[in-house]
């Protein structure tokens, strides 16, 4: 941007003025000469030069995402790790030769020549003349034919062959394979050429597989940012006072977890496949382990808070101007982020269930002596917990409170999310109102969005966990980015799924795994609901042994007939279990109730898209989708404009 270019140039010129000796070694002769410091004034002493060199400030560019060090000519990212080179030219010359036009004595002597008259004959034979001056670089060379005629040539074998052939055909060397270099600019830089101040930051949280490719989330965020910028130029050009910035959140690389224990027990056979699984799917096992779950949640929470504090320190007016924060999470990152925002802790939950079970045992004690013994046992357990807490305090290992975010989340966008399965296994059941609070309280997050591709094997729907009959209502279709005058999302009426159409669309080429006989339509929530009930009841019956847990979990598998249908269920436990299933709130549901705000949003399939290939690639296709980028901007800008309208409306 013009603003960034001018600020970098001003800082570089200041550096050359304050450090003339170092500037001479970096190709700053022209700047020193322009400012009258080339040989005419004494150089600064070493002590002052070092002190001044330290005070050279880094230049923030690209909306504050990067800092440019004009001394070392490097560009550092502020919020993540990779370093990029920075030069003073937009040319194909390498960084070390970027000051070629400034340093070359031949160029300075040529620039002092007077323009020579050119007649028709000289023009005809211009392409046949030889270079006045040439400079050899590492993998290329530069030829000067005049003050404004400078060409860069590659020394690769293919380029040499091409030049030889074209010159024998009568073409000039420059026109055959040369790249013309210009000292100047295509467009004059302006301080007004800069983005507006950031009014909305979006943290992008990755899922599994980050250990395999540590910088993948940075690349994915870059692709998403690029798609968003294109959609901004096309659909939101009038938004000149607002700016949305996307910041990657990389939480995996800082975790220790089990160290290299898993690596040490991994067999050598099929090592590549095993390493792939250890670097990706193992993250799911880590998170479901009580031993490592807290380390993961703490790591992500600390990284989110660190990035937010860093951003606010570099943008002090962000909070005072009412800046907002949203989170985009992908895959397993949706579950981790959800648990951090809501404070879900399975260990606390199991302990509470265990305490409730102990309280329920009071009903079985009938004699005074038994009640007295029970009270003694409870007092002993309480005293034991107090001693354990004291011991942990002495060892400085007392567990810290559950980590919390230091900012309010405006929108939570889930992409390719398995969150619905996790919630179902935790006992979340459909209610009788369409409020988002049933899953995510609006006091924690204003809007929840579940974005998924129809063939993404990892993604699941959330709406049937809020209202059961929404299992038969189609998710909202995300508009194509080139749709003209699309219907606003909040005005799209719910539409029922067509069983015949969905069954027909699942069959391709007449023979496929999906061409098996179509089963009877089942509510979306039934399968995961049954698993969730079994899981929660199994957790509540820890003291009854592994056998009871396994029975309670798998006895009502969707693929098997239930005990009610088969007449099985003689035991007291099975009777109470299936009685709970029989009086499910689903019988009280009102199909006329609608969602307050839709949560499930589905990408449209391509017209010539292979469903089987799409099932492999769809889980990572969100980053480059212009449809997703436009969808994000639609709700982010819509909410900001709504808030501004409310703030400016008279009381």
For 443-494, the pLDDT digits (tens) are 999 999 999 999 999 999 999 999 999 999 999 999 999 999 999 999 999 9
- Alpha carbon of residue 227 to chain centroid: 13
pLDDT confidence band for 332 (50 / 70 / 90): very high
The pLDDT score that the predictor gives to residue 25 is: 54
Find the range with the poorest average confidence among 118-122, 251-255, 619-623.
Answer: 118-122
Say if residue 571's pLDDT is above 60: no
pLDDT at 598 over 90: yes
Asked whether the beta carbons of 135 and 142 are under 8 A apart, the reply is yes
Contact 14, 53 (CB under 8 A): no
Q: Enumerate the domain spans of the chain.
A: 200-345+404-497+595-637, 348-394
DSSP string, 496-542: B--HHHHHHHT--TT-SGGGSPPPPP--HHHHHHHHHHHHHHHHHTG
Per-residue pLDDT for 356 more than 50? yes
Which residues, at least 6 apart from 459, have a Cβ–Cβ distance to it below 8 Å?
416, 417, 418, 450, 452, 453, 619
Looking at residue 448, its pLDDT comes to 96
* pLDDT at residue 633, rounded to an integer: 96
Q: Distance between CA 13 and CA 372 in Å, rounded?
A: 86
| DSSP secondary structure code for residue 399 in this structure | P
**Strand, coil or helix: what is 567?**
coil
> Given this model, what pLDDT does residue 109 score?
38
Matching residue, tokens 């924690």: 444
The count of other CB atoms within 10 Å of the CB of residue 424 is 23
pLDDT for 357 equals 60
> Of residues 489 and 383, which shows the higher confidence score?
489
Q: Quick one: pLDDT at residue 115?
A: 39
Residue range 160-181: mean pLDDT, rounded: 74
Calculate mean pLDDT across residues 93-116.
44
Query: Is it the case that residue 422 has pLDDT exceeding 50?
Result: yes
Q: Which of 28-42, 122-136, 394-408, 612-626 has the lowest mean pLDDT?
A: 28-42
d(CA 419, CA 438): 14
Where do the DSSP E strands lie in 150-293?
A: 150-154, 179-181, 200-205, 244-249
Q: Is the per-residue pLDDT at 504 higher than 70?
A: no
Reading phi first (left if > 0) and then psi (alpha if -120 to 50, else beta), residue 313 is in alpha
Residue identified by tokens 């799917």 is 281
Does the active-site annotation cover 109? no
Alpha helices (H) in 289-367, listed in sequence order: 293-314, 332-342, 346-360
| Between 59 and 400, the higher pLDDT residue | 59
Higher-pLDDT residue of 619 and 530 is 619
| Secondary structure (3-state) at 244 | strand
**How far apart, in Å, are the Cα atoms of 356 and each of 347, 375, 376?**
14, 15, 18
CB-CB contact of 181 with 137 (8 Å): no
Q: Which residue has the higher pLDDT, 190 or 389?
A: 190
pLDDT of residue 547: 38
Confidence of residue 63 (pLDDT cuts 50, 70, 90): confident
Helix (H) or strand (E) holding 580: helix 572-582
Select from 525, 519, 515, 527 the least CA-distant residue to 612.
515
Q: What percent of the chain has pLDDT over 90?
A: 31
Q: Which two tokens stand for residue 364?
A: 């079985």
- Cα–Cα nearest to 482, from 127, 234, 220, 125: 234
Tell me the average pLDDT across 330-353: 85
Per annotation, catalytic residue among 5, 331, 471, 618: 331
pLDDT band of 92, cuts 50, 70, 90:
low
For the segment 371-382, the average pLDDT, to the nearest whole number, is: 81
Please name which of 644, 609, 599 lies closest in space to residue 439, comparing C-alpha atoms.
599
Report which listed range, 66-80, 448-462, 636-650, is most confident. 448-462
pLDDT of residue 34: 54
């Amino acid at each position: 941007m013009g603003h960034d270019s001018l600020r970098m140039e001003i800082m570089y010129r200041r550096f050359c003025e304050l450090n003339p000796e170092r500037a001479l070694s970096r190709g700053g002769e022209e700047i020193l000469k322009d400012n009258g410091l080339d040989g005419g004034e004494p150089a600064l002493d070493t002590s002052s030069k070092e002190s001044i060199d330290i005070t050279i400030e880094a230049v923030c560019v690209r909306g504050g995402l990067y800092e440019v060090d004009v001394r070392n000519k490097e560009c550092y990212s502020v919020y993540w790790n990779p370093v990029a080179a920075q030069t003073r030219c937009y040319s194909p010359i390498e960084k070390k030769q970027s000051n070629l036009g400034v340093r070359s004595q031949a160029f300075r002597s040529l620039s002092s020549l007077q323009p020579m008259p050119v007649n028709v004959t000289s023009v005809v034979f211009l392409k046949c003349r030889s270079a006045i001056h040439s400079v050899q670089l590492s993998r290329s060379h530069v030829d000067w034919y005049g003050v404004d005629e400078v060409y860069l040539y590659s020394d690769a074998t293919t380029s040499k062959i091409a030049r030889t052939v074209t010159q024998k055909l009568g073409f000039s060397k420059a026109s055959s394979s040369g790249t013309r270099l210009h000292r100047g600019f295509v467009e004059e830089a302006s301080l007004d050429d800069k983005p507006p101040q950031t009014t909305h930051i979006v943290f992008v949280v990755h899922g599994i597989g980050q250990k395999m490719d540590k910088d993948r989330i940075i690349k994915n965020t870059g692709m998403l940012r690029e798609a968003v910028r294109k959609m901004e130029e096309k659909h939101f050009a009038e938004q000149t006072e607002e700016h949305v910035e996307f910041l990657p959140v990389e939480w995996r690389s800082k975790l220790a977890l089990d160290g290299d224990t898993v690596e040490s027990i991994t067999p050598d056979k099929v090592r590549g496949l095993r390493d792939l699984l250890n670097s990706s799917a193992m993250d799911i096992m880590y998170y479901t382990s009580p031993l490592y779950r807290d380390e993961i949640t703490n790591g992500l929470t600390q990284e989110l808070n660190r990035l937010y504090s860093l951003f606010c320190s570099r943008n002090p007016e962000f909070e005072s101007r009412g800046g907002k924060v949203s989170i985009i999470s992908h895959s397993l990152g949706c579950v981790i982020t959800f648990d951090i925002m809501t404070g879900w802790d399975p260990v606390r939950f199991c302990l509470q269930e265990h305490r409730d079970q102990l309280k329920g045992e009071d009903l079985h004690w009938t004699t005074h002596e038994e009640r007295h013994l029970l009270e003694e046992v409870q007092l002993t357990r309480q005293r034991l917990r107090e001693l354990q807490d004291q011991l942990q305090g002495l060892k400085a290992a007392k567990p810290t409170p559950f980590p919390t975010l230091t900012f309010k989340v405006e929108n939570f966008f889930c992409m390719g999310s398995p969150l619905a399965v996790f919630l179902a296994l935790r006992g979340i059941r459909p209610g009788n109102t369409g409020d988002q609070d049933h899953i995510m309280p609006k006091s924690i997050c204003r809007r929840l969005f579940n974005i998924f591709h129809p063939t993404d094997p990892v993604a699941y729907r959330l709406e049937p966990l809020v209202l059961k009959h929404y299992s038969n209502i189609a998710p909202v279709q995300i508009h194509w980015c080139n749709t003209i005058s699309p219907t606003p999302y909040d005005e799209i009426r719910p539409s029922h799924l067509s069983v015949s159409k969905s069954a027909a669309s699942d069959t391709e080429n007449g023979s496929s795994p999906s061409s098996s006989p179509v089963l009877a339509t089942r509510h979306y929530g039934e399968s995961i609901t049954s698993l969730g009930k079994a899981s929660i009841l199994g957790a509540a019956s820890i003291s009854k042994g592994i056998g009871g847990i396994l029975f309670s979990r798998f006895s009502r598998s969707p693929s098997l007939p239930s005990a009610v249908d088969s007449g099985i269920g003689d035991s007291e436990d099975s009777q109470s279990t299936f009685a709970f299933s029989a009086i499910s709130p689903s019988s009280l549901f009102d199909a006329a109730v609608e969602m307050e705000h839709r949560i499930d949003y589905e990408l449209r399939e391509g017209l010539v898209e292979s469903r089987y290939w799409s099932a492999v690639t769809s889980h990572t296709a969100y980053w480059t989708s212009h449809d997703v980028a436009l969808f994000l901007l639609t709700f982010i800008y819509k909410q900001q404009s709504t808030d501004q309208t409310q703030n400016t409306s008279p009381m």
